[in-house]
Amino acid sequence: MPSTAYHAPDTITGAIALLMADPTARPLSGGTDLIVQMRSGRVTPGAIVDLKRIDGMAGIREEGGGFVIGAATPCTALRNHAGLLAAWPGVVEAANLIGSVQVRNRATMAGNLCNASPAADSVPALVAAGAEAVIAGPAGVRRVPVAAIPLAPGRTSLAAGEFVVEFRLPAKPAGGGDAYLRSTPRTEMDIAVVGAGVSLVLGADGICTEARVALGAVAPTVVLVEDAAAALIGSRIDDAALDGVAEAARAVCNPIDDKRGSIAYRKAMAGVLARRAVLIAASRAGVIA
């Protein structure tokens, strides 16, 4: 059984070269998915490329009203950034539902995204917020919407040698609010049976002008529910709009029956959580940034 090498490059180009040198090499951020998979034998990387020693890979900064989050930033660090927490509480919440405090002190949204589990908690919130991922690779740097990265369970659109270096969140629009809710059997420590991320904008008159509703764990990859957004835009988030959101959420589900939830239950919860997350996002939309 070939053994694994460990590298801790201190530059992005160094990391790219190491990943290109071994097609089975894996980038390491928090390790809370990769190490678990290595222990269970699910993955056997020839090399681990630890990204955490690269300058600038961890940390949060404000830029032009928006936020730049280094890919190696642990989830708990997101909570400690007052500006990010105030602007995008749904994204911060989502990331801070992963695992336990111990796990969150290591886990990163980049790892959560690139592990490409359909049930990843941070992904629906990032997609709803319109986040983009900045990717470095042998061909240079490119920037894509977060939703473009997961292709199928365990598979991403990243090419050989590529890895996420940072996330970019837009500035919170005036009258904007976001939220993330998930359904789990216990209060903590579970993988989401359904996750719902919502971001919306309410005008001064209370009418919704923008909305994005994203669902996790109901399909092979995160789903942006266009019909849910349509039900919200132009409405005052009344019962009819909420019913529309719930119905759209249920309709778009294409889940599997597995040890974490049945198809029927996931469909039902998609409707319930989308509705509840919309209400929370709407209540936050009234808060002055």
Partner 1 sequence: MSRLHVSATVNGDATDFLCDPSASLLDALRDQLGLTGSKEGCGSGDCGACTVMLDGEMVCSCLVLAAEAQGRSVRTIEGVAEGSVLHPVQQKFLEHAALQCGFCTPGFIVAAKALLDRNPDPTESEVRYWLAGNLCRCTGYDKIVRAVLAAAADLRQERTPA
Partner 2 sequence: MNAPTKFDGAKPAYRHVGTRPVRPDGVDKVTGKALYGTDFKAPGMLWGAVLRSPHPHARILSIDARKAEALPGVHAVATGKDFPTLQSLVMHVGEGASDIVDVARNCLALDKVLYEGHAVAAVAAVTPEIAREALALIAVEYEELPFVLGLEDALAPDAPLLHDDVFTKGVEPKPDKPSNASMRVEMGSGDVEAALATAAVVASGRYTMEPVHQGYIEPHACVASWNADGQAQIWCSSQGHFAVRALTASVLAIPQADIRVTPLEIGGGFGGKTTIYLEPVAMILSRKSGRPVRLAMTREEVFRATGPAPGAVIDVRIGAAEDGTLLAADVEFKYHSGAYPAVDAGAGVASAIGHYRIPAARVVGTEVLCNRPAAKAYRAPGAPQVNFAVESAIDELAVRLGLDPIELRLKNASGEGDPQTSGVPWGKIGWTQCLEAAKAHPHWSAPLGENQGRGIAGGYWGNYGGPSTVVVSLAEDGSFVVATGSPDIGGSRASMAIMAAEVLEVPYEQVRCVVADTASIGYSMVTGGSRTTFATGKATVEAATQVRQLLCERAARMWNVPAEAVEWREGTMHCISGEKAGTSISVARIAPMVAHMGGPVSCVSAINANGWLPGFGLHICDVEVDPETGHVAIVRYTAVQDVGTAIHPDYVEGQVQGGAVQGIGWALNETYIYDHKGRLDNPGFLDYRMPVASDLPMVAAVLVEVPNPDHPYGVKGVGEVPIVPPLAAVANAIHAATGKRLKSLPMAPDRVFAALHGCA
Residue 268 interacting entry, from partner 2, partner 1, none, C-beta within 5 to 8 Å by type: partner 2
One character per residue 132-151, x = contact with partner 2 (rule: CB under 8 A) = --------------------
The yes or no reply on residue 39 touching partner 1 (CB under 8 A) is yes
Query: Token match 């199928």: residue?
Result: 152
- Please tell me the distance from the alpha carbon of residue 287 to that of residue 289, in angstroms, as a whole number: 6
Residue 73: CB minimum distance to partner 1, A = 13
Q: What is the token pair recorded at 115? A: 């592990």
Q: What is the token pair recorded at 15? A: 């990391």
- Pick the binder of partner 2 from 51, 269, 280, 281 (CB under 8 A): 269
Residue 22: CB minimum distance to partner 1, A = 13
- Pick the binder of partner 1 from 51, 60, 72, 74 (CB under 8 A): 74
Amino acid at 144: V
Residue 159: CB minimum distance to partner 1, A = 25
H or E element, residue 101 = helix 101-104
Residue of 280, 271, 267, 167 lying closest to 218 (CA atoms): 267
The yes or no reply on residue 210 touching partner 2 (CB under 8 A) is no
The yes or no reply on residue 40 touching partner 2 (CB under 8 A) is yes
User: Stretches 45-53, 131-139, 186-194, 221-229: which one binds partner 2 (CB under 8 A)?
Assistant: 186-194
- Cβ distance to partner 1 smaller for residue 191 or 214: 191
Residue 37: CB minimum distance to partner 1, A = 10
Amino acid at 224: L
- Please tell me the distance from the alpha carbon of residue 123 to that of residue 139, in angstroms, as a whole number: 25
Residue 101: CB minimum distance to partner 2, A = 11
Residue 19's alpha-carbon distances to 12, 133, 139, 204, in angstroms, are 11, 19, 13, 50
The number of residues that bind partner 1 (CB under 8 A) is 29
The yes or no reply on residue 103 touching partner 1 (CB under 8 A) is yes
> Angle at which helices 263-285 and 239-252 pack, to 10 degrees?
140
Residue of 213, 155, 152 lying closest to 179 (CA atoms): 213
- Please tell me the distance from the alpha carbon of residue 67 to that of residue 3, in angstroms, as a whole number: 39
- Please tell me the distance from the alpha carbon of residue 35 to that of residue 257, in angstroms, as a whole number: 26
Residue 181: CB minimum distance to partner 1, A = 16
- Pick the binder of partner 2 from 174, 264, 287, 289 (CB under 8 A): 264
H or E element, residue 238 = none
Residue 52 interacting entry, from partner 2, partner 1, none, C-beta within 5 to 8 Å by type: partner 1
The yes or no reply on residue 79 touching partner 1 (CB under 8 A) is no
Complete DSSP assignment for 16-41: HHHHHH-TT-EEESS-TTHHHHHHHT
- Pick the binder of partner 2 from 262, 286, 287, 289 (CB under 8 A): 262
Amino acid at 214: A
**Residues at the contact surface with partner 2, assessed by CB under 8 A:** 1, 3, 40, 183, 185-191, 193, 259-262, 264-265, 268-269, 272
